[in-house]
Structure formats: structure tokens, C-alpha cells
Amino acid sequence: MAFATILSLLSLAAAVLAQVTSTSLSMALFDDSDQMPHLRAMKWNITYYDRDAVAPGYWFVAPYWYLFGEKHSNRWTPCQVGPYIYDQDGELIWAGSCKYENRNVWNFKVVDIDNTPHLALRLVASPDEPGTDGSMVLLNDRYQEVSRTPIPAADYDTHELQITSNPRRGISIVLYPKQLNLSAFGQPEKTTHIDTGGFIEFDLDTGHRTFQWFADEHIALDESFVFDHTDETPNPDYAHLNSVQKTGNGNYLLSARHCNTIYYIDGSTGHIIWRLGGKRSSFTANFHFERQHDARFLTANETHMSLTFLNNAADERAVFEPFSSAMHVELDLTSMTATLLTLYPRPDGKITNRRGNVQTIRTSGLSSSSVPGPNGTDTDTETTNALVNWSNDAYISEHTLAGTLLMEARFASHRFDTYRAFKFPWVSRRPSQPPALVAFAHGMRANTSAFSSLSTTVYVSWNGATEVRRWRFYARAPRPSNSTATYGYMNFTNPRVEIGSVPKSGFETAFTVPGYLSHISVEALDVNNRILGFSEEEVVTTPPYWAAGTGAESPGPDDPEEILAALQPRPELELEPEPESVLDGRLSVSVLLLLLALVFMAGLVLGRGAAYLPPLLARVGRVPVGAWRRVRSLGYLPWVLTWTWMGRSNEAGYSKVEGGEVHIVHLAERERGRDW
Ligand SMILES: *[C@@H]1O[C@H](CO)[C@@H](O)[C@H](O)[C@H]1NC(C)=O
Ligand SMILES: *[C@@H]1O[C@H](CO)[C@@H](O)[C@H](O)[C@H]1NC(C)=O
Ligand SMILES: *[C@@H]1O[C@H](CO)[C@@H](O)[C@H](O)[C@H]1NC(C)=O
Ligand SMILES: *[C@@H]1O[C@H](CO)[C@@H](O)[C@H](O)[C@H]1NC(C)=O
Ligand SMILES: *[C@@H]1O[C@H](CO)[C@@H](O)[C@H](O)[C@H]1NC(C)=O
Ligand SMILES: *[C@@H]1O[C@H](CO)[C@@H](O)[C@H](O)[C@H]1NC(C)=O
Ligand SMILES: *[C@@H]1O[C@H](CO)[C@@H](O)[C@H](O)[C@H]1NC(C)=O
Ligand SMILES: *[C@H]1O[C@H](CO)[C@@H](O)[C@H](O)[C@H]1NC(C)=O
């Protein structure tokens, strides 16, 4: 995991650098172009205990830095905050941080709309647009927005966004400030400020409100564990609603953190049907919980219900239990008893004093993003895992429903959190943005062979594409045009030539061919070698030293056909005895250097000796003394040669494309000199 350490150091350095290099770019940076040069995606530190038992799917997270967003400044900011999809190796699948301008995003997940998986997210208003409340965004499987519903309420809360498909509704928690009297405490003449709101349901297409429920009409002030009427200014957030789930029969399950209570609410009258936990629990329970989050029904029949939630067991002021845990509990509606089925302790034994969530996911088949619970989809408990987001550093863990720890993971960087984390199956065959490709030429044209020291490296990625298995590369030779073309001397009438294909490796795949190819394009292939998409044809970037007047001439592009012809006999070559390799070259140079050094020493000895015995030597070898002195001066030659040789090897630039040790995303950016 030293790699992860290096990366977190890198990201720290990046943060420092970002502060220092304050250039006057701001919004323009968040270009939603296919290449995303400013993307810096978080890496993960992952530990698997049982890799085979985890549920299939991708991780859906939305890292943020400041809870309430940061106003844009002129400071250079990479794209980091926003919605992301990762695979279970922590490899980036989709980054939406550039698309959404580093804005905070909540509740990023997959929802079914008319039986089609969509991405849903709540996008906060841009800090540059005060007075607006952001929006609910739905994206299709090509990452195109199918709807963007402005947030209807004035004090829209970040905690919850549930989407139902039929009818298309959003359910969210809202905040409303109110003045309440203290009659519950025998002081009806005294009033206090309350900003706990309630929740609303609204039409996803029009934004119109279809249902609303306000806490103060149903939850008394004295149910709160944080509201103290004797305080000068009592905590106005007396209930702190943090999750709401609409059930299959139209009721609602509501979590009120500051009441330590989960409420089941009648969807037509708004009346509380039962309370679990807190001061007025309807159940006799063999467990307790404090400051809980994310209450969700898992199963239900006529007599029993089961639900999951995160027992934070702590808040910002106090800690009530040794560690936080997720809970799966069963309610017997006949005897009104509540039983703990499974406890999922936080694997590192620590406390999550705020936020977090629990998601139950199927280990086989589709994960249910629809609403389980009363008269909803009944989940098969045999094949369900629980994914828990412990909320600090995006710390997540996956457990079997029975409680066995399967996996834990967290961001390698400690700068980012995500409010909730989810796992869903997800397929995007053809994101609407084409694959992004950048390519760089390296090296010098040598005289011995046409392209011996030249190479072209191509970097390709396709943000969000889940089905790409191979990349197939094409090159096209430019042809001097005899027409009065507007594109300079380039004219793309030559056919494109397939120059190779490689398996997709990670978010960004690199591919290197010998020679300088000037125009490159790429096709994305699926598991059956069907073409999923193709990039634009890109002009290869040439090294600055080709044009810098260093004495190196700018080589003209190679003909891809020639390159291909040179590549063809490769398999046979591999069977033959090792051709002269770079190492052999170095060895032979070393031997040469050794010989020259011997000559130098001989020159030194003989030269000096000759100074004392000129007559003898002149007689024996008929060589004049001056000639020996010249031999001695040859001894300086090796050093000159060594220097030149090293210089040439650097110029070839191969070191830039070797090694996979760099940033998760943008090897290409390192080539552009933007690495940090
Ligand atoms: C990665 O996680 C493991 C287990 O949680 C931990 O021991 C290790 O220190 C972490 N490494 C880094 C670089 O955070
Ligand atoms: C205090 O509030 C309760 C409930 O909101 C209301 O019924 C009652 O009239 C109020 N009393 C006074 C004195 O305002
Ligand atoms: C309801 O669920 C409980 C526990 O899951 C089970 O014991 C009971 O038999 C079920 N009742 C019916 C009618 O299916
Ligand atoms: C499920 O729906 C039926 C009728 O649609 C209703 O009678 C029953 O009470 C519902 N069950 C629960 C647990 O809400
Ligand atoms: C290549 O060789 C020719 C003649 O052999 C010479 O004039 C030219 O300078 C050489 N070019 C380079 C780059 O070495
Ligand atoms: C361009 O060159 C080709 C032959 O190389 C010739 O046939 C053609 O007429 C030329 N076109 C123009 C516009 O000069
Ligand atoms: C390229 O050349 C062809 C003819 O050889 C000509 O028709 C075409 O307009 C040229 N395109 C450009 C962009 O110069
Ligand atoms: C889980 O929630 C915490 C608290 O908000 C957050 O810091 C963390 O990043 C989340 N993890 C994931 C993977 O979403």
C-alpha cells in the first residue's frame, strides 16, 4: 500500500500546489470536453476478506470537501468534487466532477425510471448563484440529462432524495424555520425558533408538490434529545430528519436523528403509526440506538417487518457506545416486540459521529433500487449483502446479511467525504461523449533506420463506458495536398491503417508504436469485438525540442503502412535469437569505453616513459615522442563519448512511457507537463 501513500502525498502536494499556482482560470476550467484534462479522481485503499462473496456492481459515491460548497475563486481547482462511479477494484468508471463544475452532489445512485436504469443525483446550486436551490438531475445510461427539476422548496435539505418511477416523484427532506411555543414544557407564553422541517413529495416533471409533512405537527419538542428548553437559545434542530423512504403501500419510514427514533407514517393522514426507539417507542426492543441514519425497510409481510439503519451511537457532542454499527432488526407487529437480527460493527471499531448509510444489495441478480418494504419488493435475505458507508474518508464496508465482513475500503486521500455510498449494477455501452484520445510523439529521427528512435504513444479513455474490452488503433498518413486546402499541408485522403489493438486496462489505456504517426483514431470494442464507439481523429502532439532549434530537425510523419510492415514479422522475430537490444547497445558501448580507457592508460604510461627514454623509443619503434603524447590525449575521449551517449538516450524519451506507477487518471496529462 506504499503506492496509496505516495498517492495521498501526491494529492497533498497537489493541494499545496493548487494554492500556490493561483492562475486566473475558474469556471472555464470545468470544460465538459471528452478529454477532461483537469480531472483528478480519488484513489481507494481496499481490503478484501472474501472477494468472491461480495455482490456484483459498481460503487456510486460523491466526494465533497466543503459541506456547503465553496465559492468559486480564481484559484486553480482540479475536478474532484461530484459524482463518481468506481468498479470494485477502485478503478474509475465515470467521473462527473468536470460536468458538474465541482459542485456538491448528494444521493448519487441508480434508480429505475419506467423500468430503465437511470442515474439520479441532487445537484446543489452553484455557489455563484445565491438564492437558488439546485436541482434534481436524472441521467440516462449515456450520461445525458433527461430531466433537471429545479428544487421546489426554499430550504431544501441535502439528506434525502428518493425517486419513484410510477408516478415519477421525488421525495426529499425540507427545512422550514418556525416559531413554536413551549406549552409542552408548561411555558405556553414562551416561544422558540425551530428549523427542523419535514419532508415533501413532488412531481419530477413539473416540480409541483404532491405531499408534505411537517415534523412540528407530529413530533413534540420533548421527544428530542438535544432540545433543552432551559437553554437561553435551545437547539433549533430539535428532530433532525435525515432519511425518508416511501413504501410500496404509500406510507413513509422516517428517521429523526435528534429523537433517536424511527417513525412509520401513514401516507394519507400523516399520522404516526408506530415509533421505534426514543422516548416513546411503540416496541419492546432488545437493542437500542442513538443518532441513527438511513432507516430502510428490507422485508415485510402482514405481521413482520425488517429494516436496516446505521446506529451512529454518537454525535458531534457525545459518544454513547464504544463503536458505531449498522443494524438489521425485525419488528413483530402482533406482539410489538423488536429484535436485533444482525449487528454489523464498524470494522475498525471507531465512531461515525454523523452521516453514513446502509444499503442492502443482492449478491445475485439485480440489486433493488426500487422500494422494498411493505407491499414492495421482498428481498431474498439469503443472497443479500449489506454495504455500509461509515462516512469518514468515504469509509465503506460490505458484509453478508448475516454479518460477516467481506470488504472495507476508503479513499486514499483524507480530504474528501461522501455522504452516502451505494452499489448497483450499471451498464453504459455508449456514453454520448466519444472516447477521448491524446497522443504524443517522442524521440529523434536516426539515420540508420527509418524510425528506430521514434515512437508514438496513444492514451485513450471513455468516461463512463462499462463494456469496452479492447481498443483498436488506426493511423492515417497525411499527404501533401496540391490543392489550396485550408488545413495547411495536411490532407486526409489517405486510408486509415489499423496499427494494433490492446485490451482495455483501467480507466486510461496507453499504447505505444514505433515511428512517428501524425494522425490517430481509436475504436472501442466489446467482449464480442463489436464496435461500441470511436474517437475523433487526433493530431499527434510533437515534442517541443523538435521545433526548439536545438539542432534536432523535425522529422516528418511516417507512413503507417510502413510501420505496420515493420511490425508484421514480429512473432517470428521473437523466436529468433535476441536481436540487439538496448542492453546490448549499452554493453557494447561499455566495452568500447573500457578499451578506450586502456588506450588512455597505455598512452599515459608510454607517453611518460617516452619522455624519459626518447632516444631508445625513437630507435626501437621509430615513433616520434610527439606521437605518444597524442596517444595519451586519446585518454580524454571516453569521457566525451559517455556524456554524448547519455545525452542521446535521454533525448529518445522512452522513460516517459515506461512504468504504470503514475496517477490513476491522466498519464496523458503528465506528458503535457501538468502532472503534480
Ligand atoms: C489501507 O487500509 C488498511 C486497512 O484498513 C490500512 O491498514 C492501511 O494503513 C491503509 N493504507 C493507507 C495508505 O491508507
Ligand atoms: C402553542 O402551540 C400549540 C400547538 O402549536 C397551539 O395549539 C397553542 O394554541 C399554542 N399556544 C399559544 C399560547 O400560542
Ligand atoms: C412473516 O415474516 C416472519 C418473519 O420474517 C415469518 O416468521 C412469518 O411466518 C411471515 N408470515 C407470513 C404470513 O408469511
Ligand atoms: C399490503 O396491501 C394490502 C392490500 O393491498 C393491505 O391489505 C395490507 O395491509 C398491506 N400490507 C402492509 C404490511 O401494509
Ligand atoms: C544523416 O546522414 C546524412 C548523410 O549521410 C547527413 O548529411 C545528415 O546530417 C544526417 N542526419 C542526421 C540527423 O544525423
Ligand atoms: C494534384 O496532383 C495530382 C497528381 O499527383 C493531379 O492529378 C491533380 O490534377 C493535382 N490537382 C491539382 C488541383 O493540381
Ligand atoms: C484533399 O484532397 C482532395 C483531392 O486530393 C480534395 O478534394 C480535398 O478537398 C482536399 N481536402 C482538404 C481538406 O484539403
Ligand atoms: C460515507 O459517508 C461519510 C460521511 O458523510 C463520507 O465521509 C464518506 O465519504 C462516505 N463514503 C462513501 C463511500 O460514500
* Ligand 6 atom, smallest distance to 483 CA: 13
The helix or strand, by DSSP H or E, that contains position 113, with its residue range, turns out to be strand 105-113
All residue ranges of the chain with pLDDT < 70 are 1-35, 67-74, 127-132, 152-158, 356, 360-394, 414, 416-419, 445-452, 479-493, 547-554, 568-590, 600, 603-676
Q: How many angstroms is it from 455 CA to the middle of ligand 5? A: 20
As given in the structure block, the three cell numbers for residue 625 are 615522442
As given in the structure block, the three cell numbers for residue 640 are 566525451
305 lines ligand 4 (CB under 6 A): no
Q: Encode pLDDT of 561-575 as tens digits.
A: 888 887 765 444 333
pLDDT score recorded for residue 548: 55
Pocket test for ligand 2, best of 178, 180, 183, 185 (most atoms within 8 A of CB): 183
* Ligand 4 atom, smallest distance to 300 CA: 13
Q: Relative to the alpha carbon of 648, which ligand is closest?
A: 5
Q: How far apart are CA 199 and CA 175, in angstroms?
A: 8
As given in the structure block, the three cell numbers for residue 85 are 462511479
Q: CA triplet 410, 415, 420: central angle to 5 degrees?
A: 50
Pocket test for ligand 6, best of 479, 482, 494 (most atoms within 8 A of CB): 482
What SS3 string covers 553-571?
CCCCCCCHHHHHHHHCCHH
CB 13, CB 676: distance < 8 Å: yes
pLDDT score recorded for residue 563: 80
* Ligand 3 atom, smallest distance to 301 CA: 1
Residue whose C-alpha cell reads 504524443 in the numeric block: 440
Pocket test for ligand 1, best of 47, 346, 350 (most atoms within 8 A of CB): 47
Q: Number of helices (H) and strands (E), helices first, in the chain?
A: 8, 38
Q: Which of 467, 465, 435 is nearest to 94 (CA)?
A: 465
Q: Relative to the alpha carbon of 298, which ligand is closest?
A: 3
What does 280-306 look like in DSSP terms, one character per residue?
T-SSEES---SS-EEEEEEEE-SSEEE
As given in the structure block, the three cell numbers for residue 443 are 524521440
Q: Which residues pair with 389 in a beta bridge?
A: 357, 396
Per-residue burial over 569-595, b = 16 or more CB atoms within 10 Å of its CB, e = otherwise: eeeeeeeeeeeeeeeeeeeeeeeebee
Q: How many angstroms is it from 205 CA to the middle of ligand 5? A: 70
4 lines ligand 1 (CB under 6 A): yes
Q: How many angstroms is it from 371 CA to the middle of ligand 4? A: 15
Q: Which of 336, 343, 315 is nearest to 257 (CA)?
A: 315
Q: How many angstroms is it from 249 CA to the middle of ligand 4? A: 7
69 lines ligand 4 (CB under 6 A): no
Q: How far apart are CA 606 and CA 633, in angstroms?
A: 12
Q: How many angstroms is it from 443 CA to the middle of ligand 5? A: 16
Pocket test for ligand 3, best of 297, 298, 301 (most atoms within 8 A of CB): 301
CB 340, CB 347: distance < 8 Å: no
Q: Relative to the alpha carbon of 219, which ligand is closest?
A: 2
Helices (H), 613-671: 614-621, 625-633, 637-652, 667-671
Q: How far apart are CA 77 and CA 71, in angstroms?
A: 12
481 lines ligand 7 (CB under 6 A): yes
Q: Which residues pair with 117 in a beta bridge?
A: 112
The helix or strand, by DSSP H or E, that contains position 520, with its residue range, turns out to be strand 519-525
Q: How far apart are CA 117 and CA 110, in angstroms?
A: 6
Q: How many angstroms is it from 530 CA to the middle of ligand 8? A: 38
* Ligand 4 atom, smallest distance to 305 CA: 13
